[in-house]
Amino acid sequence: MSGQSAVSAAKAALKSQAIELPSWAFGNSGTRFKVFAQPGVPRSPEEKLADAARVHAHTGVAPTVALHIPWDRVDDYATLAAYAGDLGLRLGAINSNVFQDDDYKLGSVTHPDAAVRRKALGHLLECVDIMDATGSRDLKLWFSDGTNYPGQDDISARQGRLAEALSAVYERLGDDQRMLLEYKLFEPAFYTTDVPDWGTAYAHCLKLGPKAQVVVDTGHHAPGTNIEFIVAMLLREGKLGGFDFNSRFYADDDLMVGAADPFQLFRIMYEVVHGGGLDAGIAFMLDQCHNIEEKIPAIIRSVMNVQEATAKALLVDGDALAKAQREGDVLGANAVLMDAYNTDVRPLVAEVRDELGADADPVAAYRSSGYGQKIVADRVGGTQAGWGA
Amino acid sequence: MSGQSAVSAAKAALKSQAIELPSWAFGNSGTRFKVFAQPGVPRSPEEKLADAARVHAHTGVAPTVALHIPWDRVDDYATLAAYAGDLGLRLGAINSNVFQDDDYKLGSVTHPDAAVRRKALGHLLECVDIMDATGSRDLKLWFSDGTNYPGQDDISARQGRLAEALSAVYERLGDDQRMLLEYKLFEPAFYTTDVPDWGTAYAHCLKLGPKAQVVVDTGHHAPGTNIEFIVAMLLREGKLGGFDFNSRFYADDDLMVGAADPFQLFRIMYEVVHGGGLDAGIAFMLDQCHNIEEKIPAIIRSVMNVQEATAKALLVDGDALAKAQREGDVLGANAVLMDAYNTDVRPLVAEVRDELGADADPVAAYRSSGYGQKIVADRVGGTQAGWGA
Amino acid sequence: MSGQSAVSAAKAALKSQAIELPSWAFGNSGTRFKVFAQPGVPRSPEEKLADAARVHAHTGVAPTVALHIPWDRVDDYATLAAYAGDLGLRLGAINSNVFQDDDYKLGSVTHPDAAVRRKALGHLLECVDIMDATGSRDLKLWFSDGTNYPGQDDISARQGRLAEALSAVYERLGDDQRMLLEYKLFEPAFYTTDVPDWGTAYAHCLKLGPKAQVVVDTGHHAPGTNIEFIVAMLLREGKLGGFDFNSRFYADDDLMVGAADPFQLFRIMYEVVHGGGLDAGIAFMLDQCHNIEEKIPAIIRSVMNVQEATAKALLVDGDALAKAQREGDVLGANAVLMDAYNTDVRPLVAEVRDELGADADPVAAYRSSGYGQKIVADRVGGTQAGWGA
Amino acid sequence: MSGQSAVSAAKAALKSQAIELPSWAFGNSGTRFKVFAQPGVPRSPEEKLADAARVHAHTGVAPTVALHIPWDRVDDYATLAAYAGDLGLRLGAINSNVFQDDDYKLGSVTHPDAAVRRKALGHLLECVDIMDATGSRDLKLWFSDGTNYPGQDDISARQGRLAEALSAVYERLGDDQRMLLEYKLFEPAFYTTDVPDWGTAYAHCLKLGPKAQVVVDTGHHAPGTNIEFIVAMLLREGKLGGFDFNSRFYADDDLMVGAADPFQLFRIMYEVVHGGGLDAGIAFMLDQCHNIEEKIPAIIRSVMNVQEATAKALLVDGDALAKAQREGDVLGANAVLMDAYNTDVRPLVAEVRDELGADADPVAAYRSSGYGQKIVADRVGGTQAGWGA
């Protein structure tokens, strides 16, 4: 492909990209040490949607919003979906929560007590009911289940309980619905986690069937893990269901995606592009915490970071790369990749946004919109949304 | 030393060992995901002291309790100290807290705003006032200060602000008072932490003078860090002020000390013993969270774990070890160490406790004491103490 | 089971345990910085077997020896097997080597050049021929294949090439032969490794069929990885083929098994015992380097370390543990495990060895045997065996 | 500073930058698994200098070459220096080697045996003699000293021996000479390393005096370590003597600097620029292995990577950054840094090279020079230089 047609193709791909926003990123969040509240934070699912709509208006590529149940529980999900539609949005993945009830101290679907397991399963099935109402395609399952001390519970028995619950949920899924199983190395469990790595998630999804897929949270790996390798593996196996994007220097730091290691994000997006993942129904979701920075512009910046990494990945000269790889030209192949990475794609992405009717400089546009000041003035009283609230 | 006299010496050393309990370990704690409340948890500093007294009664080696300000703020610290005395306890280190006010979102003593720095310093100085009232020797300083994003603040300027605050506190210390500076790799700061490693803490303490010492929290290191090396270095330099004991498989998991890697705890205690640290005024403090396990028995178990590791360290045949080391006998030297580690010291430690008038089996004694049931029945109403409350 | 019958059962299990010795551990080894030669090191496969026979004579539980091809290439493998038989040994797993020819600079079975792939496959098939001759059950496959730089080769294409080679080898296996696929996080490949984790090995083995199994090398994981979880998973899935035992503080340090974290080794062996793995045909192999310590006593010590960890695992009171787990008694369940771990099993294991006709104190017996001095005197001239020679 | 004058200042700074090449990077290197030989590799110190001269000719900023003794031992260092001068080069740091003699199996300057320590010290003093002859300013000291097993030697005693040796070398230094002490987490020592972290190196250098400085090797840290923090600390303390540049995904992978995490390299160079380190006499040295890629172009690429990171660091808008930091504008401050990082500085750096009389595209210029083919043809026979040879 010539340089110019590569750029055109990249622009087309960028225009059709959709990045899903997590409703909870608009609320307060923090660490176990402290949650710092911010003025203007939403107090309801509707206000979260309103904020999300601003992000989409400025960036043009964030048309869906993931919900977290029970944090976004409403009486009538169809009404909420319609409200989203009025804002130019759609409701995205439903995220279950089986980690914040007192009953879940020793686990949810893997708890030694069958009564707790039943309760947890009930919640997961309720989430599928909500999907029916919202029209959501994806159920995202993250389990905090695990143990803190050696001997605390039986590792293998917990896998059996997990398999049982997953199977029951799988059976309940509609034809066009999927379950996305997330893995995480540790936290809040500090000795074993019941789905700690992609291998475990993959093993379960393989047994469940095609509607079960793995979701890669970029912050959930052991130090040194090559995440793009996992992405390539799962894509190859047809088992990559989606991403939870964020970034980290240490553990599950949940910083803005691309903030800690933009080159890693590029390498991940390169594997997605190269493996045909842009058109494979993969959900590109943000999952971040904005503990100390302003939330809406942080989310805008995150969307831009994914977009810029995608743009660079799209600019890799595939023919030149394949040739260098075939010839065993280590430096040449690496240089092809680095050439794309070193390109300043900001003008290109600004054009894309411009052509989409969004803003060339989304953060500046948000700043000058007055929206930030407006929500601070308006959202007085009530209970602010918080991570876990 | 013959085998029998080594055992006698070990017993004598174990009898004089003192392990400090953290008041906050008796309260509720958790992760950012959830704090699981437990029945019977203390509602006041006095109730925390009462629980600590039980731990000391059963183990015989936990005579002091560290306070955390403002969590343990009372009107009259002298009265609190007297109450502790009535329970057979003394008040230990005063732990400052400059991380839970909204003002501290971007730092405390290293905050870019001088007003926030002044406020933080004021709190630290207040803690020295409290030390005067309680008779505490040690001020323990842990700063959550740091940044989450590259560029957020000036790394070097923050060091300057830190040095200024530490110097002001140092000047305020009485002749018999010390400041213990703690370091931590990360969390809650996710990009830089202002005191991230022993080197930074050491550099500051060296400039401040002999009353400034480094405290080693066993959970605050990068993966792969050899903690006992740091202990040996600091002991050698006369700069090891104390320990915050806990254990971890991943990050700052704050599990019961010795739970994750008992061999590491033994190696640490071996360096302490070998470096003369048992008689060097080092504070042996627990600093743990009991998120899902019962708190009092977990603390009893932790005290026992430190004691057993110390016992094994005391049993190392120093002459045989030195000879093997001198001769370059790698396997022989390692075998001397492992021989002590592989010894079952539980009978020996039970004897020590028996001779101290405590219980040979402290957990069983606690279980049969009825204290656990009593506090659940009595402590109804009021606000439970919590980590951060 | 009562305490006494538990001990009897443990002794019976320990007597039937078989730990496989790697021929290469008797030769010189080192790091990229330096290989330190030791006097008396074997110069032929036969001399390696002789050394292994000493280890078996003293320990009673090391009856098989793994070979590494081409390091242990001989003209007549049947004769070598007979020689092993004369020494009271059997030949164990055949280890392939496709990483030390110049052709393998960019990979072996995943190399971009089909000619190199054919050569590598040829070697693997030759190894199966050797298995036919030696009567070995297991082919152990470790691939150093991977890349050093992003872009260097196509991650997914390399998986395709790997699958092709594995499939060809699988087809060649006899009815009673197995292939054991090993994974490793990194080294010598420094960006991607083609089989970097258990998930990748599992995915390939699953497709290949029942004769393909995963081998867990205890030194091949990212920091923080919970190895016993992987062991439990693979056992549960019927895909745990064997272990390569060694230990590490940092990366693939290849220290004596149990030397760095004896509690971890115990936890691993507990999962093996609990999951029925002692009778499941799992190969318990050592794979270590003795860079600076004397080799034969280091191997004896390693065998003892596995044995002691197994003994402790066998002593876990399963009924008490299951009860505590069922009741959600976190501290109680942990205490059951720790009780077994804290037991000094050395007298028990000495009895086992005594009853097997081996030595209660194998290292002392080796020292007093004069074998070490004899090989130093005898093995003069010729080329010492070395890791990679 | 306006944009244009910032660019001018950046260009001036880039023109005066000097990156030191390591003689050993031109030779063969590898891992413990295999050293892959490459055609055309130098066979003498003179041929290494000739290769280095090519790198300097194409890049314009690599005027000095570090030597490694004994790998680069010659009869007459003055003649070698003159030869370097003829090639337009100067001889740089002298690197000592006390890790490749059989005597050093258990250490060099920290060895338990005084005779080995004396030998090692003798070598270090010889290196200072060589510095006198070559006119080198810096003695770079890296010690592989450490232990593999707990108990193997006395951690504290080894520190004492180390201090003694360093002191003797320090006394021997001339007025204009410095010693640069390097630290490394692990390898080849696998339990303790005698200088494992910056804190240890700093503590020794502080006691020695102003001619002792710390050198930061970017590959020598525990996972998660914030290297730029260390750089800022050492600069602030006046103790940063130099860098050994390379990059790594896992351990001490020694890949081309900037290859694994270009953003990290930028952050490091930002701290250097911001802390006044460009004019502080800091040695910017490469220290890498080119195991599978062609050596000369890999070194050219590495020089370019350092240059590009420096260029980006120089483009950071310091006023805007300071303002945002002062105001606590987390996103704004981060954006200032990212704006510089996201700039494509390749045209700017090409201009710099052009104006220096070097090549705008150094790799292409090297390729078309025919030098690579020439050395392959010429350098036949003799012994190729290798890492450790």
| Secondary structure of chain C as H, E, C letters | CCHHHHHHHHHHHHHHCCEEEEHHHHCECEECCEECCCCCCCCCHHHHHHHHHHHHHHHCCCCEEEEECCCCCCCCHHHHHHHHHHCCCEEEEEECCCCCCHHHHHCCCCCCCHHHHHHHHHHHHHHHHHHHHHCCCEEEECCCCEECCCCCCCHHHHHHHHHHHHHHHHHHCCCCCEEEEECCCCCCCCCEECCCCHHHHHHHHHHHCCCEEEEEECCCCCCCCCHHHHHHHHHHCCCEEEEEECECCCCCCCECCCCCCHHHHHHHHHHHHHCCHHHCCCEEEECCCCCCCCHHHHHHHHHHHHHHHHHHHHHCCHHHHHHHHHCCCHHHHHHHHHHHHHCCCHHHHHHHHHHCCCCCCHHHHHHHHCHHHHHHHHCCCCCCCECCC
DSSP-derived secondary structure letter, D305: H
β-strand partners of C181: C141, C214
The pLDDT tens digits of the residues spanning A286-309 come to 999 999 999 999 999 999 999 999
Q: Phi, psi (5° rounding) for residue C90? A: -125, 155
User: Residue D5: what pLDDT?
Assistant: 86
Q: Does B106 touch chain D (CB under 8 A)?
A: yes
Residue D296 has pLDDT above 90, yes or no: yes
DSSP-derived pairing of the beta strands B90-95 and B146-147? unpaired
> Confidence class of residue D212 from pLDDT cuts 50, 70 and 90?
very high
- Collect all residues with Cβ–Cβ distance below 8 Å to B238 and sequence separation of at least 6: B210
- Collect all residues with Cβ–Cβ distance below 8 Å to B2 and sequence separation of at least 6: none
Nearest CA in chain C to A159: C233
- Domains of chain D (ranges; CATH) run 18-309 (3.20.20.150)
Question: Which subunits have 3 or more CB–CB pairs within 8 Å of chain C?
Answer: A, B, D
Q: Are C329 and B363 in contact (CB under 8 A)?
A: no
C238, two tokens:
């019927």
* Amino acid at residue number B331: L
CA separation for the pair D106, D115 (Å, rounded): 12
CA separation for the pair C29, B357 (Å, rounded): 55
Q: Phi, psi (5° rounding) for residue A16? A: -95, 0
Peptide bond connecting C70 to the previous residue in cis, omega within 30 degrees of 0: yes
Q: Are A44 and A385 in contact (CB under 8 A)?
A: yes
Coil, strand or helix at B375: helix
Q: Which of residues 279-338 of B touch C (CB under 8 A)?
A: 292-294, 297-298, 301, 308, 330-331, 334-335
DSSP run (H or E) holding D77 = helix D77-86
Q: Phi, psi (5° rounding) for residue D370? A: 80, 0
User: Residue D275: what pLDDT?
Assistant: 97
Select from A155, A198, A229 the Cβ nearest to the Cβ of C271: A155
The length of chain A, given as a count of residues: 389
- Which whole number is the average pLDDT over B250-274? 98
| pTM, two decimal places | 0.98
Coil, strand or helix at A240: strand
DSSP-derived pairing of the beta strands D90-95 and D138-141? parallel
C4, two tokens:
């006494």
Q: Which of residues 348-367 of D touch A (CB under 8 A)?
A: 363
- Which whole number is the average pLDDT over C304-323? 98
User: Residue C2: what pLDDT?
Assistant: 60
Report CA-CA distances (Å) from B27 to A257, B39, B127, B362, C200.
35, 10, 21, 21, 44
- Tell which residue, A106, A121, A189, D190, has the closest CA to residue C229: A189
Q: Max CA-CA distance within chain C?
A: 66
User: Residue B248: what pLDDT?
Assistant: 98
- Which whole number is the average pLDDT over B354-368? 98
CA separation for the pair B162, B156 (Å, rounded): 10
- In the numeric block, the tokens 């499941």 are attached to C280
Q: Does B238 touch chain D (CB under 8 A)?
A: no
Q: How big is the A-C interface in CB pairs under 8 Å? A: 158
A306, two tokens:
């994914």
Task: Flag if A341 and D249 touch (Cβ within 8 Å).
Answer: no
Average pLDDT, chain C: 97
CA separation for the pair A21, A55 (Å, rounded): 9
- Collect all residues with Cβ–Cβ distance below 8 Å to B221 and sequence separation of at least 6: B185, B197, B227, B230, D222
CA separation for the pair C36, C290 (Å, rounded): 10
Q: Does A221 touch chain C (CB under 8 A)?
A: yes
Q: Are D284 and D18 in contact (CB under 8 A)?
A: yes
Question: Which subunits have 3 or more CB–CB pairs within 8 Å of chain D?
Answer: A, B, C
Rounded to 10 deg, the angle between the A3-16 and A295-314 helix axes is 140
Q: Are D167 and D219 in contact (CB under 8 A)?
A: no
Q: Phi, psi (5° rounding) for residue A64? A: -125, 155
User: Residue A6: what pLDDT?
Assistant: 87
For residue D163, the tally of other CB atoms under 10 A from its CB is 17
The pLDDT tens digits of the residues spanning D1-32 come to 567 888 999 999 999 999 999 999 999 999 99
Q: Are D104 and D165 in contact (CB under 8 A)?
A: no
First to last CA, chain C: 50
A175, two tokens:
């034809």
Residue B389 has pLDDT above 70, yes or no: no
- Collect all residues with Cβ–Cβ distance below 8 Å to A2 and sequence separation of at least 6: none
* Amino acid at residue number A36: F
- Which whole number is the average pLDDT over A84-95? 98
Nearest CA in chain D to A256: D331
Residue C148 has pLDDT above 80, yes or no: yes
Report CA-CA distances (Å) from C85 to A79, A177, C45.
79, 61, 14
Q: Does C262 touch chain B (CB under 8 A)?
A: yes
Residue A113 has pLDDT above 70, yes or no: yes
| Cβ contacts of D224 on chain C, cutoff 8 Å | none
User: Residue A387: what pLDDT?
Assistant: 76
CA separation for the pair A258, D337 (Å, rounded): 13
Nearest CA in chain D to A250: D224
The pLDDT tens digits of the residues spanning D248-282 come to 999 999 999 999 999 999 999 999 999 999 998 99
For residue C108, the tally of other CB atoms under 10 A from its CB is 28
- Which whole number is the average pLDDT over A107-117? 98
Share of chain B above pLDDT 90, in %: 97
Average pLDDT, chain D: 97
DSSP-derived secondary structure letter, B269: H
DSSP-derived secondary structure letter, A255: B
CA separation for the pair B227, B217 (Å, rounded): 9
Residue D388 has pLDDT above 80, yes or no: no
Q: Does A151 touch chain B (CB under 8 A)?
A: no
Question: Which subunits have 3 or more CB–CB pairs within 8 Å of chain B?
Answer: A, C, D
Residue B1 has pLDDT above 60, yes or no: no
CA separation for the pair A332, A345 (Å, rounded): 22
Task: Flag if D156 and B275 touch (Cβ within 8 Å).
Answer: yes
E-assigned strand segments in D263-352:
283-286
> Confidence class of residue C225 from pLDDT cuts 50, 70 and 90?
very high
Residue B377 has pLDDT above 80, yes or no: yes
Question: Sign of torsion, CA C107 C111 C116 C117?
Answer: positive
Residue B132 has pLDDT above 80, yes or no: yes
> Confidence class of residue C1 from pLDDT cuts 50, 70 and 90?
low
Most A CBs within 10 A among C226, C248, C315, hence the mutation to make, goes to C226
DSSP-derived pairing of the beta strands B283-286 and B19-22? parallel
User: Residue C239: what pLDDT?
Assistant: 98
D122, two tokens:
């003798």
DSSP run (H or E) holding B13 = helix B3-16
Share of chain D above pLDDT 70, in %: 99
> Confidence class of residue C3 from pLDDT cuts 50, 70 and 90?
confident
Coil, strand or helix at B141: strand
User: Residue B2: what pLDDT?
Assistant: 60
CA separation for the pair A127, A178 (Å, rounded): 12
- Tell which residue, B100, B36, B109, B33, has the closest CA to residue B68: B100
